[in-house]
Structure 1
């Protein structure tokens, strides 16, 4: 009988084709002429700004002034999860009894947490700050690591900046293809099983001479060295973990409740050509091709004076882009698939003993009360909310820590 095995190159070609559908929209095939054309177009900005129904302002953002469409697509690194895999993932929902505010901003709710107010990619510890993701599709890694950093502060009062580089370089095929894209959920699973070191131990990579917009060649995935750059820290002792990895039920209430109770989450959505031109307002897709999937950090929500509901998100394209690096997108309509893939995990206390010694007595006492941490469960003796979530509609064993400051201070 003749072999039915496909050549390896053919297999990966078919596999790539199966992921063309990103976050609810078909990624459209583009001609070579289109890929080599500038991503920023005066005609697109004019069409949006002259449309009274658009609801947002467009501009020629200097961040992408030298980018082609093909180069811009390199930044969009989210790959679509196979539907068969999605069915095996825990889905978190929240009781409808929670009273949520009309407007919420994690930056002010947890003002003691410095990482929440930091734009993704704007790292003080970068080797050549301020860093930019260049032509590396590392958004899937940024969204996960930055959200987990925030949650360590929210739940344990530990201000720590975790390493995107560790996840990007060391997760390998478990997460996807490094700079050529990855899967947010697999990133969170890696954080639970393998953890990531601090950014001080392993800063985000920078290729000298190729960090400006429009530079060539495209970034290659950095090597996994498993050694702290300063030589004074131990790699394994610098690891920080999540307890679990889960998706949040795809409706506005559950997403808001998750952020309100546990902190920022990673979300993925479809990016169209017009999104590169975003300056301010509540984004809704108006014109242009679908270019790919992108992951960002969702930090809040609100309603404009005109009654437009929105999500508030932090991007990783530095402060030159958008509204000082942030953007708003329409809430409640699954705009560009923004409410379809919402991923998160709770922070683990593993390896936190060293940091507890530098914390106040109340925080140290809290951590000493943790009785059990297994099977995705975080149990606290006090300051807990029983049955705070359900997994696939059934009662979950995941007891979630409250996020109010009083849990950490007398």
Structure 2
């Protein structure tokens, strides 16, 4: 069974308009756990906003591996945890990427967590390419038109993923090719991420030799096991039913303020956890550039209540070294 949120334009008759000051203020009057404000100019095309949600939320078969952790580790976990303070040698933990006008959040949440885990495990920074996954992982996924986060981790295991930085960065084998949407520029939808199995000109490693692999992916079940996995091995990928009020998140612990019939699937990197004003939260990294959200692209999300299904499909995997790629 597959739960699919299609990337359809936001044609709902918002009253007031989705990007109006009145709409933002209405969010703030409905709740007090988080603050809404302007992240996108009022003339941003709704087509662009709609393209930001692109996760196909699978109902994972029970035969898929579910990882649990030792009760003693769980009992010893701190009240709050931020991996940026534990693994200070991994700059990627502080990075926020930008998926542009493309429903590739499913790929971004995966490669961001993989990048962090590679550094945590091996002590060296390797930026996994969102372009490579978005363009070349076509099993149960559709590039800029949505994809399955779980399948991105399967792709790491079976096919391997090359390096690649942000748009226009010239970093790695396959940098991201879809430009950022900033101040109304480059905001048209309908983008396609092409699969090109060659590294960019001037890169000194071949496409096949640049690939790095991960283990068979696994799921984490329940808040305690998710926390233990984060604490021991680093970030994971989560998906949830994202609502249009999320576009306006500025600070605090996010809770949806609207009817979820207007919402679609979104995937992000999960880093850690904490408590703010007696409310438990997950610490997440979005892929909408640093001008969005709290402290440059990060945000807090209600924890422990499976709000919007965020604790349903939590995915991880471990990096392999070159001697283990056939295991």
TM-score using structure 1 length: 0.71
Indicate if the aligned counterparts of 2:47 and 2:189 stay in contact, CA closer than 8 A: no
Matched residue, 1:86: 61
Matched, 1:262 2:233: yes
Give the drift of 1:193: 0.8
With over 3 angstroms needed to count, the CA separation of the structure-2 counterparts of 1:35 and 1:50, relative to structure 1, is closer
Give the drift of 1:374: 6.2
With over 3 angstroms needed to count, the CA separation of the structure-2 counterparts of 1:165 and 1:50, relative to structure 1, is same
After superposition, what is the alpha-carbon deviation per residue over 1:281-311, rounded to whole angstroms, capped at 9, x for unaligned?
A: 001111255321110001110012x211111
After superposition, what is the alpha-carbon deviation per residue over 1:123-178, rounded to whole angstroms, capped at 9, x for unaligned?
A: xxxxxxxxx32220000000111111101111111211111111111112x14100
After superposition, what is the alpha-carbon deviation per residue over 1:332-362, rounded to whole angstroms, capped at 9, x for unaligned?
A: 11111111110110001027xxxxxxxxxxx
Q: Distance in 2 between matches of 1:36 and 1:164?
A: 36
Matched, 1:160 2:131: no
Indicate if the aligned counterparts of 1:39 and 1:68 stay in contact, CA closer than 8 A: no
Matched, 1:54 2:32: yes
Indicate if the aligned counterparts of 1:247 and 1:344 stay in contact, CA closer than 8 A: yes
Matched residue, 2:288: 317
Matched residue, 2:142: 177
Matched residue, 2:168: none
With over 3 angstroms needed to count, the CA separation of the structure-2 counterparts of 1:35 and 1:220, relative to structure 1, is farther
After superposition, what is the alpha-carbon deviation per residue over 1:214-271, rounded to whole angstroms, capped at 9, x for unaligned?
A: 745424222211111134221111101111211111x111110110111000000111
Counterpart pick for 1:45 among 21, 24, 28 = 24
Q: 1:65 is paired with a residue of what secondary structure?
A: coil
Q: Distance in 2 between matches of 1:329 and 1:309?
A: 8
Q: Distance in 1 between matches of 2:292 and 2:71?
A: 36
* Pairing of 1:134-283 with structure 2 (within 5 A): 134-172=100-138, 174-199=139-164, 200-207=172-179, 213=184, 215=186, 217-231=188-202, 232-249=204-221, 251-283=222-254
After superposition, what is the alpha-carbon deviation per residue over 1:20-52, rounded to whole angstroms, capped at 9, x for unaligned?
A: 4x6xxxx9x99845389953232332123234x
Q: Distance in 2 between matches of 1:182 and 1:68?
A: 22
Question: Based on CA coordinates, which of the two structures has the bigger radius of gyration?
Answer: 1
Indicate if the aligned counterparts of 1:45 and 1:277 stay in contact, CA closer than 8 A: yes
With over 3 angstroms needed to count, the CA separation of the structure-2 counterparts of 1:257 and 1:220, relative to structure 1, is same
Give the drift of 1:93: 1.4
Q: 1:180 is paired with a residue of what secondary structure?
A: coil
Give the drift of 1:110: 0.5
Q: 1:153 is paired with a residue of what secondary structure?
A: helix
Q: 1:133 is paired with a residue of what secondary structure?
A: coil
Q: Distance in 2 between matches of 1:214 and 1:175?
A: 31
With over 3 angstroms needed to count, the CA separation of the structure-2 counterparts of 1:65 and 1:78, relative to structure 1, is same
Q: Distance in 2 between matches of 1:116 and 1:275?
A: 22
CA RMSD of aligned residues (A): 2.7
Q: Distance in 2 between matches of 1:216 and 1:319?
A: 17
TM-score using structure 2 length: 0.88
* Pairing of 1:112-151 with structure 2 (within 5 A): 112-119=89-96, 121=97, 132-151=98-117
Indicate if the aligned counterparts of 1:35 and 1:68 stay in contact, CA closer than 8 A: no
Q: Distance in 1 between matches of 2:182 and 2:102?
A: 11
Give the drift of 1:69: 4.0
Indicate if the aligned counterparts of 2:154 and 2:216 stay in contact, CA closer than 8 A: yes
- Which runs of 5 or more structure 1 residues have no equivalent in the other structure? 1-14, 122-131, 352-371, 376-410
Q: Distance in 1 between matches of 2:182 and 2:136?
A: 22
Matched residue, 2:3: 19
Deviates more, 1:160-169 or 1:285-294: 285-294
Give the drift of 1:73: 1.8
With over 3 angstroms needed to count, the CA separation of the structure-2 counterparts of 1:329 and 1:322, relative to structure 1, is same
